[in-house]
Every structure is written in C-alpha cells, then in structure tokens.
Structure 1
C-alpha cells in the first residue's frame, strides 16, 4: 500500500468520526520520523477517543502495521505511528499549544479535499 492510499484511509476514518481541522503535512526531506503528519482535533475527550479508535480500526482492517501508539489515555493528545504516516489527534487547546503546523511550516500541505466528503 502506498502513502497516498494510507493517507486516504486515515483521513476518511477521521472524517467519519467528525474530526475537526484535518490537515496533512508532507514532511519528506524535513525529518526522518516519517513522510506525512496527519493532524486533527476533536471537540472533547470522548470524540477524541472515537477518532483514535476509528483510525486504528481502519488501519487494522487494511492490514497497516501500527508501530506505536502514545497518549490515548491522556485525553489531550494521541500519536499513532503508521511508519511513514504519523497521526496526531489533539484536543483544541493542546493543538493550539503545540502548533505543529507552525513548527513544520516548511512542510507543504497535502490537498485532502478529494479524500473527504465523498458519499
């Protein structure tokens, strides 16, 4: 499975759980951590858990290896490492505080409009 297919599966899973402000950064050439960061937030802890569960379910259903998961029980931020794609699910306050979009401002945005709202 290529990165574009992985991104589409993850973005659709997050969108299905009503994740807010989904953004994909292309960090290839900027870090060895991965190729893409998928960043989103939920409105509250319950929704964040739903988003994380939806992303993990989609990953497992599509035979993606989840290398690491961190922070799910914190209620503020969860990281899901899918090797080349790193998923960050924040609450709004933590997302604003860490501001990964600004930290990685050199990374081009990936257009995800074709990945969501297709019914």
Structure 2
C-alpha cells in the first residue's frame, strides 16, 4: 500500500497511544536525513509494555497491508526500533529514552507532540 509518510506517522503514533505509550513525538526528518521522513519516539513503563506497543503498531499497520522492513531490540524490549522506510519508530523504556535522548541528538528536526 502506498500511503503518505505524514499519514503513516500519525497511524503509528495512534497505535502507540492505544497501548498507553507516553510522551509520543513525531519528528520531521525530511530536511535532515536521507534515510527516513519521520521518527516517531515514545516511552513505556516496562519492557513488557514496550513490546505490547511494538506489537500493536505491527498489528494495526498489518491490517492496512503495511509491514516493517526491519525490527531491532524486541528480545530485550528496552528499545525497539521498527523501520517502515518513510517512518522509523523508536519505543523506549523511559530510562533508555533519557539516556539516548534522540530528541536532543536530532534537535534540528521540527517536533510535534502527539495528542490522541
């Protein structure tokens, strides 16, 4: 399915929100990175919740015939990355998010807080 990357980023954020992800941000990477259009970053309380968020994103997008091209970190569940080409999802346990601080690392990216 060919879907605009902006719409895809919002679908991902909503699927994360449905599993109670916290502090969801959508970072516009189009003018910063050649790799992807958007980062979607969110936090969870535990590795179990991180996995539940990743599973729900995968399930919800799969219903629309949208599938990731790469997944990392699922076994540990501390930081899961889902690569949907135009959108890359980062789901963190809160301590890991603070440590890696992707928002600061990519501070030039326009960032929008997702509110469901």
Short-chain TM bin: over 0.9
TM-score normalised according to structure 2 size: 0.93
TM-score normalised according to structure 1 size: 0.91
Considering fraction of residues, name the structure with more helix.
1
1:96-107 equivalence runs, <5 A: 96-107=98-109
- TM-fit CA distance, 1:45: 1.2
Partner of 1:30: 32
- Count of equivalent residues: 114
CA distance in 2, matches of 1:44, 1:111: 21
- TM-fit CA distance, 1:46: 1.1
| 2:72 is the alignment partner of 1:70 | yes
Give the ranges of 4+ consecutive aligned residues of structure 1 lying more than 3 Å apart after TM superposition.
none
Q: What residue ranges of structure 2 are gaps of 5+ in the alignment?
A: none
| 2:91 is the alignment partner of 1:89 | yes
CA distance in 2, matches of 1:111, 1:3: 17
Computed over aligned residues only, the root mean square deviation of the Cα atoms, in angstroms, reads 1.1
